[in-house]
Structure 1
Amino acid sequence: MYLNRDVFMTKPVNGFSKFTKEEKINWLITNYLQDFPNASKILRQYWNDDKELQELHDEFIENTITNYYLPLGIAPNFLIDDTLYAIPMAIEESSVVAAASNAAKFWLKRGGFKAEVISTEKVGQVHFMYQGNKEKLKTFFKIHKKHFFDDTEALTKNMRKRGGGITHIELVDKTEALANYFQLHCTFETKDAMGANFINSCLEQFSKTLVENAQHYSDFSSKEKQIEVVMSILSNYVPNCLVRASVSCPVSELNFKDYKGKEFAEKFCQAVNIAQVEPYRAVTHNKGIMNGVDAVILATGNDFRAVEAGVHAYAAKDGQYRSLTDAEIDEDGIFHFWIDLPLALGTVGGLTSLHPLVKMAMHVLKNPSANELMKIVAVAGLAQNFAALKSLTTTGIQEGHMKMHLMNIMNQFDATSIEKDQLIQYFTKHNVSHNTVVEQLKQLRGE
């Protein structure tokens, strides 16, 4: 029984970030966890026994009190462009890894997955306010455009050595949307780095160059010289950093349960078509895709929040939220299923070189380049969607999902290993639900 929240007499705390780890935990327990059983023990049991490794984890973020674990699984048998991969996936949701593995095994015998990186352009913007003659601003930008490249040479030197750098800077008039609002719309190539720090550093220099040059531009009035930079920041919407993954086979090879060949393929395509026109379905459809995408993003130390934001914006790029996948049957009776995803990923820098499990995951994936990782992630999303739609259009989603969820229900009620074996055997022939698991467990216990 937990105490009523009204008994907590918490007060604001000063200097919390300067507390030691022990002091942070003691403060948390005193103020928020007095009635939480074994709070201190639970927090400490997730610490790593290796002191150096734990200190490394503690320094990833601020105010660390413990580690939060997610299961790291492996989905094997992914044949991508004739190379066989085992894909690491970090996720807590039941059936995701199993579904991906089943899809991989199915397509392994049908030529595997194909993938191609269509483009790798990333975007950043300097947002600023300008009150004055638009033609003057356009002329000013044209004259001074070279300065933006010159003033960032020190920042871009190493990136240019790797074949990357600033690719384009454009002045954009947004005053129809917001009074006096303009932007420098800038594109970048960052090669194997995700490039967030690189892009943001360049953008902040652009803003300085913009303001300083404006102040010394003789054709500007005193008011026009007072350009106000609001912010300089990369965009996580990367519609031109795009990868496509696909599978195909004759419809005669698509045989599942009571649905075979052309009948299954047509029903599958209709399921995709529904997600193209119905946003309520499209959101859940794409969430399933992101089960696979996010799991690989997490396992490889990339930013899944940035990927999620960019992907969902891309799904609504034409004004309506739609499916990220497409499917069709061509005139020769070949089933085609593919996905286009905007992915800004990195394989160097950040956690990729710090987190031991991320480094191991990268090694399992044969130490891919950023482009290769884009392909692997897109394939994981496509496989996840194929598995979900296959279940939805044949047996229904709950049969497989609930059997995977069975273990979570048994653990919730502290089932012993013997009880688990008996329950698993029972539910090979019966439908799984929370109530039926509880009832069977009571019977085993003679309750």
Structure 2
Amino acid sequence: MSEQRDELMKLLSDEELDLFILTGGIDMDIADQMRENVIGITKIPIGVAENFIINGNPELVPIATEEKSVIMQASIGAGLVPEGFKATTSGNIMIGQIQVLEVPDMDAAEEAILAEKAALLVDANTLSRSRKAVDLQVKRLDTAVGEMLIVEVFADVRDSMGANLIDSMCELLAPTIARITGGRTLLPILSNLATKRTVTLTTRVPVELIGPAVVNDIIAADAFAWADPYRASTSNKGVMNGIIGVLLATSNDTRAVEAGAHSFASITGTYRPLTKWRKDGNGDLVGTLEIPMGIGTVGGVIQSHKLAQVVLRLMNVETASDLAMIAGSVGLASNLGALYIMVTEGIKSIQA
């Protein structure tokens, strides 16, 4: 047992240790309340990624994964950056969309919605005392079934993931939107492409630590991914290995984040890597990652999953932004660790 893992286990009470080792945090009664038609419970191993420094603070990071070497790659990547990772978030704005069909006059409909914007936001904000809609915008789409109007609601969901609130806001506004536009509303739904809720990471690997040849090879490997979507797909899978592991350990919606990440990777019209590696003036390797992160630390399954609550406590996480910065750092570290291994020893060296 590593020193850091031993240190983490000492922070657990006997009851919390049982959650990790025996129950996994849920029993059949809890599982039945969480999901329909439950017939059993599956368990995923949780390990600890080491060597992480995020915004100057050392971090021990629990990762839930069934895949061999994911935690090793993240730990190796984190160990290559003595100054750690610098992380920032853009806020907690999630986006909802209301689809409007059969609009008789698009120009008039768009003008009417924007004229009623303030009133629409007031209506949306009757649903929550603390999480509020902050903006409303309109766009047109040319589609295979004709032109349609899309009304987008932007809400600050704070530390929740926000899906239920956003869906409720859109459903509440849909009849009013139909009346204002003279059209027919169809889908009122959250978007998982959370472009207003991103996390950005930067890190630096000193050239003295890995040598100029390895710096150049990692940049060349990265260039391969930027030139070829087939390679970009696997590169991004490596990023998500780490991110999804952190989110699974904290009972967040991994499918939502995965969908948003891959949509973000192709938002320019070409599928691209989520990471970028370059060389600075000193010859050091500099890496960046930007990714949407629609996650929460309150609400949903997190409230009922005891193990998720313990994991959040162990990570000293209080806000959704805190969790996003940790998850993003693990994603960038995972990418770096995988690239370093591939250009030096080869990926099979850790898969044996």
TM-score (normalised: structure 1): 0.71
Please say if 1:240 is aligned against 2:177. Answer: no
CA distance in 1, matches of 2:56, 2:246: 20
Structure 1 residue 264, shift from structure 2 partner: 0.8
Residue 271 of structure 2: which of 321, 325, 331 is its match? 321
CA distance in 1, matches of 2:221, 2:25: 51
Structure 1 contact 115–379 (Cα < 8 Å) conserved: yes
Structure 1 residue 119, shift from structure 2 partner: 4.3
Q: What is the one-letter code of the residue matched to 1:93? A: E
Structure 1 residue 50, shift from structure 2 partner: 11
> In the alignment, which residue of structure 2 is the partner of 1:128?
100
> In the alignment, which residue of structure 1 is the partner of 2:59?
85
Residue 337 of structure 1: which of 287, 291, 303 is its match? 287
Q: Indicate the structure (1 or 2) with the bigger Cα radius of gyration.
A: 1
Structure 1 contact 151–209 (Cα < 8 Å) conserved: no
Higher relative contact order (CA 8 A, sep 6+): 2
Structure 1 residue 320, shift from structure 2 partner: 1.2
SS in 2 for 1:174: strand
SS in 2 for 1:296: helix
CA distance in 2, matches of 1:142, 1:384: 44
Structure 1 residue 350, shift from structure 2 partner: 1.2
SS in 1 for 2:130: helix
Residue 153 of structure 2: which of 183, 186, 204 is its match? 186
Structure 1 residue 213, shift from structure 2 partner: 4.3
Please say if 1:358 is aligned against 2:308. Answer: yes
Q: What is the one-letter code of the residue matched to 2:226? A: Q
> In the alignment, which residue of structure 1 is the partner of 2:212?
262
CA distance in 1, matches of 2:260, 2:239: 14
> In the alignment, which residue of structure 1 is the partner of 2:331?
381
Q: Structure 1: any 5+ residue segments left out of the alignment?
A: 1-47, 160-164, 215-224, 255-260, 403-447
Identity %: 30
> In the alignment, which residue of structure 1 is the partner of 2:10?
none
> In the alignment, which residue of structure 1 is the partner of 2:297?
347
CA distance in 2, matches of 1:83, 1:49: 31
Structure 1 contact 175–182 (Cα < 8 Å) conserved: no
Q: What is the one-letter code of the residue matched to 1:252? A: E
Please say if 1:287 is aligned against 2:237. Answer: yes
SS in 2 for 1:151: helix
Q: What is the one-letter code of the residue matched to 1:140? A: A
Structure 1 residue 156, shift from structure 2 partner: 3.3
Structure 1 residue 387, shift from structure 2 partner: 0.9
Q: What is the one-letter code of the residue matched to 2:171? A: E
Q: Which runs of 4+ in 1 moved over 6 A?
A: 48-52
- CA shift in 2, pair 1:176/1:353, >3 Å: closer
SS in 2 for 1:66: coil
SS in 1 for 2:52: strand
> In the alignment, which residue of structure 1 is the partner of 2:136?
169
Structure 1 residue 177, shift from structure 2 partner: 6.1
CA distance in 2, matches of 1:362, 1:275: 34
Structure 1 residue 54, shift from structure 2 partner: 3.3
> In the alignment, which residue of structure 2 is the partner of 1:257?
none
> In the alignment, which residue of structure 2 is the partner of 1:228?
184
> In the alignment, which residue of structure 1 is the partner of 2:125?
153
CA distance in 1, matches of 2:247, 2:333: 15
Greater shift in the superposed pair: 299-308 or 363-372:
363-372
- CA shift in 2, pair 1:114/1:137, >3 Å: same
Structure 2 contact 219–277 (Cα < 8 Å) conserved: yes
Q: Structure 2: any 5+ residue segments left out of the alignment?
A: 1-21
Structure 2 contact 77–333 (Cα < 8 Å) conserved: yes
Please say if 1:200 is aligned against 2:172. Answer: no
> In the alignment, which residue of structure 2 is the partner of 1:112?
84
- CA shift in 2, pair 1:139/1:318, >3 Å: closer
Instruction: Let me know the Cα RMSD of the aligned residues.
Output: 2.0
Please say if 1:72 is aligned against 2:28. Answer: no
Greater shift in the superposed pair: 137-146 or 187-196:
137-146
SS in 1 for 2:103: coil
CA distance in 2, matches of 1:99, 1:117: 24
Structure 2 contact 47–63 (Cα < 8 Å) conserved: yes
CA distance in 1, matches of 2:160, 2:74: 27
Structure 1 contact 112–247 (Cα < 8 Å) conserved: yes
CA distance in 2, matches of 1:312, 1:366: 29
Q: Aligned runs of 1:414-429 on 2, under 5 Å?
A: none
Please say if 1:54 is aligned against 2:21. Answer: no
CA distance in 1, matches of 2:99, 2:332: 36
> In the alignment, which residue of structure 2 is the partner of 1:423?
none
Structure 1 residue 138, shift from structure 2 partner: 2.7
SS in 2 for 1:183: strand
Q: What is the one-letter code of the residue matched to 2:261? A: V
SS in 2 for 1:272: helix
- CA shift in 2, pair 1:125/1:338, >3 Å: same
CA distance in 1, matches of 2:258, 2:303: 23
Structure 1 contact 72–90 (Cα < 8 Å) conserved: yes
- CA shift in 2, pair 1:88/1:283, >3 Å: same
SS in 2 for 1:348: coil
CA distance in 2, matches of 1:85, 1:146: 43
